């Protein structure tokens, strides 16, 4: 069993790393929002299937993240 002081130091270090990672996460979210606001740079006048396919692929990746958080799909409890 860890001593109280060691546990506190570990928790403080864990919290500091968590907050650092939250900043990174928020940065990704802000970039994603900017991409969405700009329609991922897609030009509707020259839209091709490849652009839709790329967005579908990205959505599948993002769905894994949100599904894991919300315990949906493959992450749902059995």
- 3-state helix vs strand vs coil in the chain, percent to 5: 85, 0, 15
Q: Are residues 20 and 3 in the same domain?
A: yes
Range of the domain at 74: 45-78
Rounded CA gap, 11 and 14, in Å? Answer: 5
pTM assigned to the model? 0.80
Is residue 67 within 8 Å of residue 75, measured between CB atoms? Answer: yes
The number of domains in the chain is 2
Handedness of CA 14, 17, 23, 26 (dihedral sign): negative
Q: Is the model's pLDDT at 69 over the cut of 90? A: yes
Q: Are residues 5 and 33 in the same domain?
A: yes
Question: In this predicted model, what pLDDT tens digit does every residue of 17-64 receive, in sequence order?
Answer: 999 999 999 999 999 999 999 999 999 999 999 999 999 999 999 999
Q: Are residues 26 and 51 in the same domain?
A: no
């Amino acid at each position: 069993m860890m001593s109280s002081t060691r546990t506190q130091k570990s928790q403080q270090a864990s919290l500091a790393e968590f907050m650092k990672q939250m900043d990174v996460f928020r940065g990704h979210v802000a970039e994603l929002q900017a991409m969405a606001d700009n329609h991922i740079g897609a030009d509707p006048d020259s839209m091709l299937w490849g652009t839709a396919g790329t967005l579908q692929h990205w959505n599948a990746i993002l769905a894994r993240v949100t599904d894991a958080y919300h315990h949906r799909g493959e992450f749902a409890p059995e």
